[in-house]
């Protein structure tokens, strides 16, 4: 039986550990904090199919079917059935990229249907689309279900170093342990690049800090008082409301909607923010955006998620897997929706030593258009 350590119990590490167990590996999952407490924190994420890179669209479509398999296996809804709405001039490009994919139902929305589906939104007459099989990922349910399946695998320790032993295997050193494994998978979010570098693997991530705010919905008579129930997720690239990139997703409680801007504060590799006041400024801009674009929300935020984000040089949706001599590292951004398929890819890499073609860094999967 292959002995594999997975470092980091965010959604990707949990998915990798789950896939490894399903393939019969002896898994140890190292995580000092609450599972899902890093970049995977918060109560929702957007599942959308539209991406600039058609190869990423194909990967995400495969992930969508694996989310369904997880729902079946865990007996709980993990992606809402209310779709993903996008507005702005980019809609036509998105539709063109998705058109060749038979299994991804998408369509344009006229202003009337847009308002029916997203009554939170202020008046808007421009291009809009619905990704029918997109929706809000139930993050807490997903993390909880995976953790419950991984009982007995958790080592509640911070990993200090990962290194190959001349006598064979890969050693993982934590605060109080030193153990050797056949393979080690690094899914440590902002901790991955440092651990990988110590093992001679250069993962070129840039670090940033992001803020997302949660707002209460105003009750609308049309929705019987449960204003966020049945709402789609939302991406706004229109610029109509003073921001060229904004996103939102309903919380599972049916009463809250979380909103963020497609903007971060740059950080040095050690986590020092270039301008610490910028996070507060981003939060203020988000509130201002909500006042203009989403009058269906109470404009005082009730909750904040502050999170590190890790980006590859080739785009906001870039993702890659680096692997050499028993050590595999994953990096990228906007990975929640891909977690099931990345878990499979990492498990396969750990057990065979071969990274799936599209996920090799030279492929620059998820590269931005242009």
Min dist. Cβ of residue 112 to ligand FAD (A): 27
Min dist. Cβ of residue 110 to ligand FAD (A): 25
Q: Which long-range contacts (CB under 8 A, 24 or more apart) does 57-64 make?
A: 57/97, 57/98, 57/101, 57/104, 58/101, 59/338, 59/341, 59/358, 59/365, 60/337, 60/338, 60/341, 61/101, 61/103, 61/104, 62/341, 63/337, 63/338, 63/339, 63/340, 63/341, 63/342, 64/133, 64/337
Min dist. Cβ of residue 125 to ligand FAD (A): 26
If the CB atoms of residues 189 and 361 are measured against ligand FAD, the closer one turns out to be 189
Min dist. Cβ of residue 323 to ligand FAD (A): 16
If the CB atoms of residues 334 and 349 are measured against ligand FAD, the closer one turns out to be 334
If the CB atoms of residues 80 and 334 are measured against ligand FAD, the closer one turns out to be 334
User: By the 8 A CB rule, do 33 and 12 touch?
Assistant: no
Map tokens 């028993």 to a residue.
326
If the CB atoms of residues 91 and 188 are measured against ligand FAD, the closer one turns out to be 188
Min dist. Cβ of residue 45 to ligand FAD (A): 4
CB atoms within 10 A of CB 237: 20
Which residues, in sequence order, are bridge partners of residue 180? 171
User: By the 8 A CB rule, do 31 and 14 touch?
Assistant: no
Min dist. Cβ of residue 23 to ligand FAD (A): 19
Map tokens 């036509």 to a residue.
92
Map tokens 């891909």 to a residue.
338
Q: Residue of minimal CB distance from ligand FAD?
A: 10
Chain residues binding ligand FAD by CB under 6 A are: 7-13, 30-33, 37-40, 42, 45-46, 158-159, 187-189, 191, 195, 210, 212, 260, 305, 307, 309, 333-337
If the CB atoms of residues 34 and 111 are measured against ligand FAD, the closer one turns out to be 34
If the CB atoms of residues 260 and 361 are measured against ligand FAD, the closer one turns out to be 260
């Amino acid at each position: 039986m292959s002995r594999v350590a997975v470092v980091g119990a965010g959604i990707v590490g949990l998915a990798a550990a789950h896939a490894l167990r399903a393939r019969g590996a002896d898994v140890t999952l190292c995580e000092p904090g609450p599972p899902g407490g890093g970049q995977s924190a918060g109560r929702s994420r957007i599942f959308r199919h539209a991406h600039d890179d058609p190869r990423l669209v194909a990967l995400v479509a495969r992930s969508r079917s694996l989310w369904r398999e997880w729902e079946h296996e865990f007996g709980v809804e993990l992606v809402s059935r209310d779709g993903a709405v996008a507005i702005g001039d980019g809609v036509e490009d998105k539709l063109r990229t998705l058109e060749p994919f038979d299994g991804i139902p998408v369509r344009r929305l006229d202003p009337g249907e847009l308002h029916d589906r997203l009554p939170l939104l202020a008046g808007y007459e421009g291009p809009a689309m619905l990704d029918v099989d997109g929706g809000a990922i139930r993050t807490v349910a997903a993390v909880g279900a995976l953790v419950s399946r991984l009982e007995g695998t958790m080592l509640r320790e911070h990993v200090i170093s990962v290194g190959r032993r001349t006598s064979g295997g890969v050693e993982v050193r934590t605060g109080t342990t030193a153990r050797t494994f056949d393979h080690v998978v690094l899914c440590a979010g902002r901790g991955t690049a440092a651990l990988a570098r110590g093992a001679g693997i250069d993962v070129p991530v840039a670090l940033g800090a992001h803020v997302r705010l949660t707002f209460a919905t105003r009750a609308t008579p049309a929705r019987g008082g449960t204003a966020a129930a049945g709402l789609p997720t939302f991406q706004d690239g229109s610029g109509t409301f003073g921001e060229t990139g904004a996103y939102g997703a309903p919380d599972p409680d049916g009463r809250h909607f979380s909103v963020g801007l497609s903007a971060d504060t740059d950080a040095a590799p050690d986590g020092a923010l270039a301008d610490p006041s910028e996070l507060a400024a981003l939060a203020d801009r988000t509130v201002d955006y909500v006042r203009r674009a989403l009058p269906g929300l109470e404009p005082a935020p009730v909750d904040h998620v502050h999170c590190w984000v890790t980006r590859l040089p080739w785009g906001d949706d870039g993702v890659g897997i680096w692997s050499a001599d028993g050590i595999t590292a994953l990096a990228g951004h906007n990975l929640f929706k891909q977690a099931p398929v990345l878990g499979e890819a990492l498990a396969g890499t750990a057990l065979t030593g071969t990274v799936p073609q599209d996920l090799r860094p030279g492929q620059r999967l998820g590269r931005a258009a242009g």
